[in-house]
Structure 1
Amino acid sequence: MSVSTPDILAAYDAVRSDKDETNWLLISYAGNVGNKLELSGTGSGGLSELAAKLDPTQVAYAYVRVEYANDAESKRVKFAFVVWIGENAKVMRKARAGIEAGEVKKVLSHFSVQIDAGEKGDLDEGEVVKRLRKAGGADYNGGRG
């Protein structure tokens, strides 16, 4: 199983780039059988757009760029790795998720937090930003952000 395909690497570079509006990528299974993972989507609509693409019958992996206000003058950019295990996913796919997540993380390696999600509410932007603030050192909003 290799996820270091040219299209996945290009999408990863796009999400990481300050010059590209792409802020998420999604990797999922190519078919109902087999373990081949492929790039199944990218977008520029942030966590809400990504969450809308997640299928409760699938296991998938996502990488997302989150930008948030640090204080009145500055913004911070952080990255999150998402392991999506849909509540109706096949048992064997769920069982393999831990091993596969490790393989995917070797390619999508620069992130501040890993989010293990099973329902779309797990990708609530406010909650994700809170986790990124905790992981990211200084919290300039006194924990209220």
Structure 2
Amino acid sequence: MSGTDSPEILAAYDAVRSDKDETNWLLLADHPTARNKLALTGSGSGGLAELAPKLEDDKVQYAYVRIEYANDAESKRIKFALIVWIGENVKPLRRGRVLSESADVKKVLSHYSIQVDASHKSDIKEEDIVTRLRKAGGADYNGGRG
């Protein structure tokens, strides 16, 4: 299964999903030594601002992100997004594996509200993702604004 069911990936996924852990993102990329396998290449608690610089133009990477936002002064929501990153300099043969590989990723990182397909850092602006999460989540007390 592309290595996505490794204990370290599963532990990082549980950490991102946990209300008791500060970890709010994880990143998967090609395993450094095993062909056609993915490995956990990072995780952290700094949100999209910390994650974005780790996305590389010559790699396919998968990020799982916990996003917290307020609907109004009284409530906050926690939602999850799956980012499928295909850097603009990824070779065609590598791009070709993304469809089947992402299916394996989605089996493990299975609880998310939206999928963000991205190839430029501008595709993963937090305000745009929150807007999409609000639309996906139903009630929106801010008229679609962040």
Q: Which category describes the TM-score, using the shorter chain as reference length?
A: over 0.9
Give the C-alpha shift of residue 98 in structure 1: 1.2
- Distance in 1, Cα, partners of 2:96 & 2:55: 18
- Distance in 1, Cα, partners of 2:51 & 2:125: 11
The corresponding residue for 1:39 is 40
Give the C-alpha shift of residue 93 in structure 1: 1.2
The corresponding residue for 2:114 is 113
Structure 1 residue 68 corresponds to structure 2 residue 69:
yes
Give the C-alpha shift of residue 2 in structure 1: 2.8
Give the C-alpha shift of residue 10 in structure 1: 0.3
Q: Secondary structure at the match of 1:143?
A: coil
Structure 1 outlier segments of 4+, above 4 Å:
none
Q: Secondary structure at the match of 2:129?
A: helix
The corresponding residue for 1:133 is 134
Give the C-alpha shift of residue 49 in structure 1: 1.0
- Distance in 1, Cα, partners of 2:27 & 2:53: 11
- Distance in 1, Cα, partners of 2:127 & 2:78: 14
CA deviations over 1:49-72 (Å, ceiling 9, x no partner): 111100100001110000011110
RMSD of aligned C-alpha atoms?
1.2
Please list every run of 5 or more consecutive structure 1 residues that lacks an aligned counterpart in the other structure: none
Q: TM-score, structure 1 length as denominator?
A: 0.96
CA deviations over 1:8-37 (Å, ceiling 9, x no partner): 000000000111000000000013872111
Deviates more, 1:105-114 or 1:42-51: 42-51
Give the aligned length: 145
Please list every run of 5 or more consecutive structure 2 residues that lacks an aligned counterpart in the other structure: none
- Distance in 2, Cα, partners of 1:32 & 1:120: 27
Aligned pairs for 1:89-108 (under 5 A) are 89-108=90-109
- Distance in 1, Cα, partners of 2:78 & 2:11: 19
The corresponding residue for 1:2 is 3
The corresponding residue for 2:13 is 12
| Identity percentage of aligned residues | 65
Give the C-alpha shift of residue 144 in structure 1: 2.1
Closer/same/farther in 2, CA of residues 95 and 33 from structure 1, 3 Å limit: farther
Closer/same/farther in 2, CA of residues 63 and 104 from structure 1, 3 Å limit: same
Q: TM-score, structure 2 length as denominator?
A: 0.95
Paired residues of 2:66 and 2:81 also in contact (CA < 8 A) = yes
